[in-house]
Each structure stands twice: as C-alpha cells, then as structure tokens.
Amino acid sequence: MSKHQEVTRAAYDQVVELYASLFADRLETRPFARSMVGTFAELVRDTGNLRVADVGCGPGHLTAMLCEQGLDAIGFDLSPAMVDHARRAQPALRFEQARMEALPLEDGVLGGILAHYSMIHTPPGELPALLAEQARVLAPGGLILVSLFGTEGPEPIRFDHKVAPAYSWPAAPFTDLLAQAGLTTTTRLLHDPASERGFLETHLLARRS
C-alpha cells in the first residue's frame, strides 16, 4: 500500500459517522449526479450483465441505490471502518475492503463500475494503473461512471480536501486516461459547482471496448 493510500485510509477511518451522516442523502441535493447514476444503471441493465461494483463505496448508500435500481451491486472501500459501517447500515448487501488498484474479482465479470468521487485522492501518476484495473474487471461493453471535481485549466490541481489531499481534473485529460485503459467515453456532464471550492462537478460515462 502506498503512502497516500495509508493517509487516505486513516483519514476516512476517523470520520466514518460524520461522513455517513453528511452524505447519506447526498444525491437528494445533486440532481445531475442522481440522473447520471440512474442513466448508468439503466444502461448496465441493457447489457444483460447486472453485476456491478461501487468502488470507494464509503458508507454504502450508493451501493444500496444501485441495488434498488435492479443491479447486483457489491461495495469496495479502502477504509475498514467504512466497510464495517456499510455492513451494519445495509446488512443484506455485500461489502469488502479492497484497493481500487487490486480488486478481488476475476477478469471481465462486471457489467458496470461506479466510482463516485472515489478516484479524487489518487495522484495523477498512479491513475493509469488504477483505470487499467477497472477495465480488467469489466466485461466487453461494460460501463464505468466516474464522478470527480473538475477544473477548466489544462492540468489536474491538488487541493486540501476536508478528509485527505485530493485532485480536481480537466475533463479532456481524464478522458484521455480512460481511453488509454481501453474505456471509450460516451457522455460528459460538467456543471457549475455546488460547493464553496468552486470546482466544476464532472461525470464521465465510458464503455469498455
């Protein structure tokens, strides 16, 4: 495990209850994000492969939402405390501790991956390997929805996230990284910020070749 992962895991372990209380109904106030998750779920259902992973699932609220939309979802998170909370909050669902760079899944088994603001803590130099791992576990035609903080500049920007250091990304360079992993972006949604940081909210939907 790299240093930034150790820092991120320890930071999220310490804020589980607060984080869960703040974000349990997050999509109720994020209509664009809610619509993108719903579109993702519909398109995954259309593939016929209902197996999906919520990577960086946190307290598990979006894993539950995916299941409510007819998908067979499992949540993965780096933080053992988050996984424990998710299992208590959603005892009928499956949650496992895992790194996004090393998912305990066989090749090509998933119809979809949801990465809702879970890649923001990964340094830019480590993202190609992380995205290659997502592509590995997706079946051909499978979909990934990545949500992240966006910027209009040419390069990603490191900033002090409230939990752990994070990065905001311009859409074009991140789309290029997806393409390098064999993931073709089909939809980009960028909209004005809903936070004091001023970053755009960015949602990228891509399909494995």
Range from 2-16, 135-149, 179-193 carrying the lowest mean pLDDT: 2-16
Prediction pTM value = 0.95
The pLDDT of residue 117 is above 90 = yes
The pLDDT of residue 17 is above 90 = no
Boundaries of domain holding 153: 3-208
In this prediction, residue 26 has a pLDDT band, given cuts at 50, 70 and 90, of low
DSSP β-bridge partners for residue 73: 52
CA distance 209 to 199: 30
Query: Exposed e or buried b for every residue in 134-169, given b needs 16+ CB within 10 A?
Result: bbbbbbeebbbbbbbbbbeeeebeeeebebbebbbb
Helices 61-68, 31-47: crossing angle, 10 deg rounding: 50
Angle at CA of residue 79, ends 26 and 113, nearest 5°: 60
Q: Report the SS3 class of residue 177.
A: helix
For position 144, which CATH number holds?
3.40.50.150
Backbone CA torsion sign across 160, 200, 172, 101: positive
pLDDT for 195:
57
Q: How far is CA 139 from the centre of its chain?
A: 18
pLDDT for 96:
98
CA distance 202 to 10: 26
Tally of domains in the chain: 1
Q: What percent of the chain has pLDDT over 90?
A: 78
Q: What is the pLDDT of residues 125-181, one digit of tens each?
A: 999 999 999 999 999 999 999 999 999 889 999 998 888 889 999 999 999 999 999
Q: What six digits make up the tokens of 186?
A: 């089909």
